[in-house]
Structure 1
Amino acid sequence: MSFAVRLATVYGTMFLFTGVYLPFFPVWLKSQGLDATEISLVVALSLFLRIVVSPFFAAVADRIGDRRRVMVWLAWASLASAALFLWVEGFGPILFVALVLNAVFPAIGPLVETIAMRARIDQGMNYGRVRLWGSITFIAASAGAGWLLEWNTPSIIAVCLVAALVLNVAGVWLLPRETRPTAAIPHRRQFAGALGIGRHPIFILFVLTASLIQATHAVYYAFGSLAWQIQGYSDAVIGLLWATGVIAEIVLFYISGPIMARFGAVRLLMLAGAAAGLRWTVTALSPPIAILFVMQALHGLTFGAAHLGAVQFVAQAAPPRLAATAQSLYAAMASGVIMGFVTIGIGPIYQMLGPYTYFVMAGAAVVALAGTALLALRWQGGLIVSEDEEEEENDD
């Protein structure tokens, strides 16, 4: 089995879980008696854990030079924590389990992305065509879970989450052991390098801009399915709406090789910001189902182009030996800090405005688009902290 196939399998098993969790975890939370504010708190507080936890595990992986071993630990911990959803009841216990799960499972993502982007650079592997298998399994999971909900109680969602994580453990085990692992990095030198990247003005601008683009999906992730239920759409149709967005991702990822080479990181982020402004403005108006499907297709740009731009920026801007740390710093902000604050904020707003809350997301997209323009002026496409500079800082 080739390395690309093994890596595609890891992506596929990861996104089986995500394909159930993103669209239907809020539905399960509602079935457990949580209101809109409590749902937004569970989702948002879980995201905040990524601020510290994901960079910590990435730093451990960079330091010991064995990303696979850390991924195995995280996969088993994710399975053990998700299994508790089969028994817990009430806001407090559910929140606790969600916090534990979101402390470990999201930390796998930056490690996989780092391995994949390094394979793209060193071996010429087509990143998009490997990554698209995650999108394919996301479609299968979201559509399948929607179909199961047609004739099962929402408790089936927890069962699906556990089953997906069982497969994720198997997928991670398929990765080959690192026969020539990266040399362990001294604590002091690693900290100096991570600090040098994390405090660099260009990296900060990139993180805030790219994170804000992803945060424009907050209403969609937390309340999209619930809003469509209120509008009268069946769970099967809702699953298809989610799947439509990911189909657009697949198309983009399949042709991503020449697109990434032609557009570059910053222009991909610009495209994502512009598409987000259009998508959320139209979605706020509760358009007819045909137009709604078209807006869902823009997910290929609002998420897909933003994701490609972000991972390409990190691969070009961060030294290879700190790639996982830099990727996790971005992921912690994009999926943790920014997304968390936005998710908490839109809970009460959604209770007042309903689908019109998408207008707030459209406004955030405009701000992000301005950030990408500034980033284009300040970054020329190279390392923002060189290996030599890091060594000099460490020597000092």
Structure 2
Amino acid sequence: MSLAIRLAILYGTMFLFTGVYLPFFPVWLKAQGLDATEISLVVALSLFLRIVVSPFFASLADRIGDRRRVMVGLAWASLASAALLLAVEGFGLILLVALVLNAVFPSISPLVETIAMRARIDRGMNYGRVRLWGSITFILASSGVGWLLEWNPSSVIGFCLAGALALNVAGAWAMPRDAGTVRRPARRRSQFADVLQIGRHPVFVLFVLTASLTQATHAVYYAFGSLAWQKQGYADSVIGLLWATGVLAEIVLFYISGPLMARFGAVRLLMLAGVAAILRWTVTALSPPLAVLFVMQALHGLTFGAAHLGAVQFVAQAAPPRLAATAQSLYAAMASGVMMGLVTIAIGPVYKILGAHAYFVMAGGGALALAGVMFVALRWDGGLLIPEEEPEDGQAPEKQEGREEMQEGKNGH
């Protein structure tokens, strides 16, 4: 079995869980007796937890040089956490177990993305056609559980979560043993030093903020999109089709992503996402006719898909292999954790006042993200941001990089 097929299976099992968790975990929490405040606390704390935990596990994987082993361990820990959720009761215990689950499962994704992007660079694998299986299983899971809930109690959601994670364990084990292995650093460093080495580079920081803001422009859509469309008088079936249109557009973009990534590159893909965000959210804020709204939903392929492709490609090109998973996790933690969490919390009162016009704020976020990626384009030449080899003992990374640049100047390069 080829690495591409194994990765497609792994993406599929990961997003099978996500397709159950995102739409229906709050429903399960409500069925366990949690009120709205407690549910929001569980969800919000889970988002912010990722900024600390995901980089820790990614740095650990980079340090030991075996990302597959860490990935398999995280998959087993995720399954154990989901199984424990079926046994605990009460807000305190549910919150504790949910935090553990949301610490370990999201930490798998940066490791998988790192392996996939390395396969694209080293073996010419079509990343998008592998990744799209995640979007497909997301649709299958969300629609399938919705169908199950029509004739089953909400408790079935917990069993679906555990079942999806059991398949995820199998998907992780199916990865070849040499997948994600990297040469160990010659000199041992602390995990914090690994994170700091890439995380403090100004271009990387600007990229993380910019790409994360692009994803955070979906905050109104994710939190209040269905509610806004209900107020506009659309039936639930139509709202379901609108959501499906966005995911289908994402799948199409991933399918054709090979030539797009080669032609546009990381920065231009992020620019395209920013422009699409400005257009999509501005028009959506105006409550357009349904036909126009479907067109705007099709732009999800750009506002999410192009931004995601550009981001993972940037990390693959800008971070050396020994820190690739660490860099990928820093972006993932900021994009799906801190930035999305902050914007979602902040946009709640705005939506209460403005209703659908809150999408104008998201269009403004798209404009700010577009400006940020333009600065990235001016500061980044498409290569590594820090040296491939670790700096010599006692020498700071900046000094090592400066010495290499001086040497290049002497050689006339």
CA 1:180–1:5 in structure 2 vs 1: closer, same or farther (change >3 Å)? closer
C-alpha distance in structure 2 between counterparts of 1:223 and 1:28, whole Å: 19
**Does 2:116 align with 1:116?**
yes
Partner of 1:212: 213
Deviation at 1:121, TM superposition (A): 0.9
Counterpart in the other structure of 1:322 = 323
Equivalent position amino acid for 1:202 in 2? V
Judge conservation of contact 1:189–1:391 (CA < 8 Å) in 2: no
Q: Does the 8 Å contact 1:24/1:225 carry over to 2?
A: no
- The 5-angstrom pairing of residues 155-304 of structure 1 reads 155-178=155-178, 181-185=181-185, 186-188=187-189, 191-228=192-229, 237-304=238-305
Q: Which residue of 2 is the match for residue 375 of structure 1?
A: 376
Q: CA deviation at 1:81?
A: 1.8
Q: Does structure 2 conserve the Cα–Cα contact (< 8 Å) formed by 1:37 and 1:347?
A: no
Instruction: Give the secondary-structure state (helix, strand or coil) at the position aligned to 1:362.
Output: helix
1:92-132 Cα distance to aligned partner (Å, 9 max, x none): 44433332211011000000000001111111111111111
2:338 matched to 1:337? yes
Quote the Cα distance in structure 2 between the aligned partners of 1:157 and 1:6: 27
Distance 1:180 1:136 in 2: 25
**Aligned residue number for residue 22 of structure 2:** 22
Cα distance in 1 for partners of 2:37, 2:26 equals 11
Contact 2:42 2:95 in 1 (8 A): yes
Structure 2 equivalent of residue 41 of structure 1: 41
Bigger shift: residues 332-341 or 191-200: 191-200
TM-score (norm 2): 0.87
Query: Structure 2 vs 1, CA of residues 344 and 38 (structure 1 numbering), >3 Å: closer, same or farther?
Result: farther
Distance (whole Å) between structure 2 residues aligned to residue 344 and residue 383 of structure 1: 35
Give the equivalent residue in structure 2 for 1:96: 96
Tell which has more relative contact order, 1 or 2 (C-alpha 8 A, sep 6+).
1
In structure 2, the gaps of 5 or more residues are 397-413
- 2:103 is paired with a residue of what secondary structure? helix
The answer to which of 251-260 and 86-95 deviates more is 86-95
State the AA in 2 paired with 1:45: L
Deviation per residue, 1:323-352 (Å, 9 max, x gap):
111111111111122112112222344444
Contact 2:245/2:298, CA 8 A, preserved across alignment: yes
Q: Is there any run of 5+ residues in structure 1 with no aligned partner, and where?
A: none
Distance in 1 (alpha carbons) for counterparts of 2:225 and 2:154 = 17
For 2:8, the equivalent position in structure 1 comes to: 8
Tell me, in whole angstroms, the C-alpha distance in 2 between the residues paired with 1:180 and 1:289.
46
Q: Superposed, which structure 2 residues align to 1:42-57 within 5 Å?
A: 42-57=42-57
The offset of 1:279, in angstroms, is: 2.0
Deviations 1:118-161 (A, max 9, x none): 11111111111111111111121222233334444444433322
- Please identify the structure whose Cα radius of gyration is greater: 2
SS, match of residue 296 in structure 2: helix
**Aligned pairs, number:** 395
Greater fraction helix: 1
Does the 8 Å CA contact 1:150/1:235 hold for their aligned counterparts?
no
Q: Distance in 2 between matches of 1:9 and 1:204?
A: 32
How far apart, in 2, do the equivalents of 1:180 and 1:172 lie?
12
Q: Corresponding residue for 1:364?
A: 365
Calculate the aligned-residue CA RMSD, in Å: 2.6
The question of whether the paired residues in 2 share the 8 Å contact of 1:350 and 1:357 is answered with yes
In structure 2, the CA distance between the partners of 1:353 and 1:179, relative to structure 1 (3 Å rule), is closer
User: CA–CA distance in 2 between the matches of 1:284 and 1:24?
Assistant: 27
What is the CA–CA distance in structure 2 between the aligned matches of 1:338 and 1:268, rounded to whole Å?
20
User: How far does residue 362 in structure 1 lie from its aligned partner after superposition?
Assistant: 2.0
Alpha-carbon distance between aligned partners in 1 of 2:73 and 2:347, rounded to the nearest angstrom: 34
Report the AA paired with residue 299 of structure 2. L
Residues of 2 paired with 1:171 and 1:190: CA distance?
27
